[in-house]
Amino acid sequence: MHRIVGVKPGSVAFRHGLVEGDAVLSMGGEPLLDEIDYQALSFPGRVEMELQRTDGRRETVVLIKEEGEPLGLRFDQSMALSPRTCRNKCVFCFIDQMPPGLRESLYVKDDDWRYSLMMGNFVTLTNVSEEEFGRILRRRASPLYVSVHTTDSALRCRMMNNRFAGDLMTRLTRLRDAGIRFHCQIVVCPGCNDGEVLLKTLGELRSLAPAALSAALVPVGLTRWRQGLAELRPFDKAGARELLEGIAAFQEECRRGLGTTFAFPSDEFFCLADRPIPPEDWYEGYPQIENGVGLLRLLESQMEEAREMEEEGREGKTPLEPYTASRTLLIATGVSAAPHLERLTRRFAPPGLTVKVRAVVNHFFGETVTVAGLLTGGDLLEQLPRQLLEEIGADTLLLPGCMLRHEGDRFLDDMTLEEFTRRFPLPVKIVGPSGQDLYDALRGR
């Protein structure tokens, strides 16, 4: 039973007489477990709902509406999705490599297909019972985002330290047969699931197309906090190049046979290999952007669009005059993205502006962690001392917003943005994730 705590005025539910305090017992003859059931069962144009009214009476109401039209109901916490946690102990798990003493939320390992459907989180499907998997099939939960890593049953069990991890291809085939589509993720570990094993995995996933939509390849991330964990090694330049070259023929086959590249290495592979980022159309609409596939290309494309819009006088933004006084901005970022940002700022900085890009080494997690989003306030303060700032002549620091948690107020080491700005000798500006944000920041907007 789920209690209604709000009815939107003028909505379908409002027009059919539902009120705050009513409770929903079932929809379409089925009990409601959670938000997933509610969304699926409220989608048709005719919805039969069994209610318990505020006076205790039971009543069946039939709601007639447009297919897909929201009912306009808000429920109590009984409808909320409490995240299901991971039952694996993957050899590459980043959370297992976190130092102690950080905020609790950073240690939560979610592995919940419902969040995969609603938010695009990647899930292994190892903690999904047969009954629950049947619900996925009935609800046509599509698209899902599946952490594959390998289709070799024995190897997947070993990599995940879970004896139930080996039936993945069976389940993916059942998803395909039910008309459910899915994106795949492969965390590639050198000497483990790369090379011929990777090609076999990609080939078996391709056999499930068009249900299998894409596969993102992400290099394993290793921190300095791996005491007692399985021995793994990171990718280096040669290894990254070998991977890119090793899948090139497979990608070409997919383009010819499926009309899609299908296997998309993350930006980090191109940065490690010192290879150019592919053109925008290669990314096919960026279906794997959350895996870092195409972030750098998207940033550049958005900056190009921002410049075109400014030159045409759109968005109410008139072209700015060149800086009348010498000005120097400092951008701090991770080691991977620094060369790309240097190139972008040379292209898009307005006349009169000097931009210095500083690659900050990650001492907190270890030097093999090179992405900007895992840098800490402590590393920034340590590697951007006053003497360096004076030598550069910088007057403002730009930081990418990905260094802060979702609320925008705290770094991974729990240093608050307020503390950082108080201790840092220059004004600090946080830049949003889009190319428009960076383009505007270079112009003092």
What is the fold, at CATH topology level, of the domain defined by 299-441? Rossmann fold (3.40.50)
Mean pLDDT for the stretch of residues 194-222: 98
CATH number of 2-79: 2.30.42.10
Structure tokens at 56: 């205790």
**How does pLDDT run across 101-127, given as a tens digit for each residue?**
888 889 999 999 999 999 999 999 999
Distance CA 337, CA 172 (A): 35
- Domains 95-293 and 299-441 in one fold: no
pLDDT of residue 352: 87
Mean pLDDT of the chain: 94
Residue 194 has pLDDT above 50, yes or no: yes
Residue range 95-293 forms a domain whose CATH class is alpha beta
Please tell me the pTM assigned to this model: 0.90
Burial class, 271, CB count within 10 angstroms (exposed 0-12 / middle 13-18 / buried 19+): buried
Name the strands in the sheet holding 428-431, side by side, starting at the edge strand that comes first in the sequence: 353-359, 327-333, 396-400, 428-431
The CA-CA-CA angle for residues 427, 431, 432, to 5°, reads 155
- Residues, the chain, total? 445
Amino acid at 185: Q
Residue 315 has pLDDT above 60, yes or no: no
Are 194 and 243 contacting, i.e. CB atoms less than 8 angstroms apart? yes
Residue 98 has pLDDT above 70, yes or no: yes
| Domain chopping of the chain, boundaries | 2-79, 95-293, 299-441
Structure tokens at 124: 């292994």
Rg (CA), the chain: 25
Residue 325 has pLDDT above 90, yes or no: no
Structure tokens at 202: 């990609």
Residue 314's pLDDT band (boundaries 50, 70, 90)?
low
**How does pLDDT run across 231-274, given as a tens digit for each residue?**
999 999 999 999 999 999 999 999 999 999 999 999 999 999 99
